[in-house]
Structure 1
Amino acid sequence: MLELVEYLIGKLVPEGDYSIEMRENGDEAEIVVIAAKKDIGKIIGKQGKIAKAIRTLVKAASAKSSVRYSVVIEERE
């Protein structure tokens, strides 16, 4: 699942300053995208449509998995 998010974010901000990490807790996993302020807008999109699409793709790709994934987008400090 991490590879899917890395691919999608890489296509959105190919020269961007971002990192992706996964935090697992039992049957739940959180994929955290940490990006520079200038790249956050490209990742989230107008009215959050791109972020919602990424979350939908992750949910669909993990439908048969026993792990529940969520995607969180954070700004790098």
Structure 2
Amino acid sequence: MKELIETIVKPLVDFPEEVLVKVLEEENRVTYQLSVNKNDMGKVIGKQGRVAKAIRTVVYAAGSSQQKKIFLEISE
């Protein structure tokens, strides 16, 4: 899943080397923390959050086979 997020986000940003995905796994949930360069935040979020919503939709669909709830957080 981490690779999927990186594959989706890196082509969108100006600084692909600064894309970082951390995984926090808990008992019944997995949280992926996506961190990008400050200048790339707008590109990852998109107008009215459309790009972020699309990324989350793909990640949630890919993780739907898992028994754990999946969350994607986007930060600088």
Q: Same fold (TM over 0.5)?
A: yes
**Unmatched tracts of structure 2, length 5 or more:** none
**Secondary structure of the structure 2 residue equivalent to 1:66:** coil
Residue number in structure 1 paired with 2:62: 61
SS at match of 1:47: helix
Give the aligned residue type for 1:10: K
Percent of aligned pairs with the same amino acid: 36
Give 1:62 deviation, angstroms: 1.1
Q: Secondary structure at the match of 1:41?
A: helix
Aligned residues: 75
Per-residue deviation, 1:36: 1.8
**Bigger helix share:** 2
Alignment of 1:30-69 (within 5 A): 30-69=31-70
RMSD of aligned Cα (Å): 1.3
**Offset of residue 18 of structure 1:** 2.6
Q: Which amino acid aligns with 2:20?
A: S
C-alpha displacement at 1:15, in angstroms? 3.0
Instruction: Specify which structure has the higher proportion of strand.
Output: 1
Deviation of residue 8 (structure 1)? 0.5
Structure 1 moving runs of 4+ over 4 Å: none
Provide the rounded CA distance (Å) in 1 between the counterparts of 2:6 and 2:14.
11
